[in-house]
Structure 1
Amino acid sequence: MHNFPEGLATFAATLADPTFGLGVAVAIAIHNIPEGIAVSVPIFYATGSKWKAFGWSLLSGIAEPVGALLGYLVLIHVMSPTAFAILFGLVGGIMIHICIKKLIPTALKYDPQDRVTSNTCLVGMAVMALSLVLFQVV
C-alpha cells in the first residue's frame, strides 16, 4: 500500500532537486531491504515456495515505479512550489500514519515487553540520518 506513495515521493523529490531525489531514493532503497524480507519470509514459510515469496515481493516493489510513472503523467504539467508542498505533505502524512498506526504496533505485538522494538526504531532512524549525511542531503 505504501510503495505507491514512495514512488511518487521519489519522483517529486528528483524533479524538485536531483540531489534530494537521490537521498530519497537511497533512503527508500535501504528501507526496502527489511520490507522485502517482511513480505517474502511469511509467504515462503506458508507456501514453501521461494518463487512465490519472490513473486509477491517483486509485485510489492513494482508499486514504486508505477507510483512514479503515474505521478509523472498526472503532475508533470502542474508542478509548482505549492504542488510540491502538497505532494510532500501528503506523502509524509501517509508514511507517518503507516509507521505510527501499522508498523510500530505490529512490531510491539511480536515484542510485547519492548525488548528490541524501541531500540531498533532508533537504529533505523540513525541509519537513515547517516545515509542523509553521507549523501549530503541534510
Structure 2
Amino acid sequence: MLRLSKKADYALIALKHMALRSDGASSSARELAGLYDIPIELLAKVLQRLVRKGLLASQQGTRGGYHLARTPRQISVADVIQAIDGPVTVTACSTDEGACEQYAKCNVRDPLWRVRERILAALGECTIAE
C-alpha cells in the first residue's frame, strides 16, 4: 500500500498552514506543533530539512520563524514528499538502490515503473496552493 510517512504528512501540514497565512508572517516550529499536535522535536527536524531543500526559508531571532521560499503554486506535493522521504517508489527495483534477484526475469518491472510515473505526475500536479 502506498502511503505518506508521518514526516511527509507533517511537512505538508506545515507548508499548507504557511500557504494559507494571508499576512505572510513567519510561523515558528512551536506554534505549528501546538496548533496541529505534532511533536516539536520531529517538526523542527522536518522544517530544517525543508529549508535545506529550498522549500522553506528561515529567519533567526525573536520575530523569526519559517516562511515559504516559493509561492504555494510552485511547491508540489511531489516536491515535499521527495524532500522529506527521497524518491517516490513503488517497488525496491524502481530506484537505483533496489537490488532484485528477479531483475533479469521480471515481467512486472515495466508496468510498475509506469504506475510510479503516473503517481509522480499526479503528485507533481497537486500544489500546496490547492
Shared fold, TM over 0.5: no
Could you say which structure has the higher strand fraction? 2
Which TM-score band applies after superposition, normalised by the shorter structure?
A: 0.3 to 0.5
Could you say which structure has the higher helix fraction? 1
TM-score by length of 2: 0.36
TM-score by length of 1: 0.34
Structure having greater relative contact order (Cα 8 Å, sep ≥ 6): 1
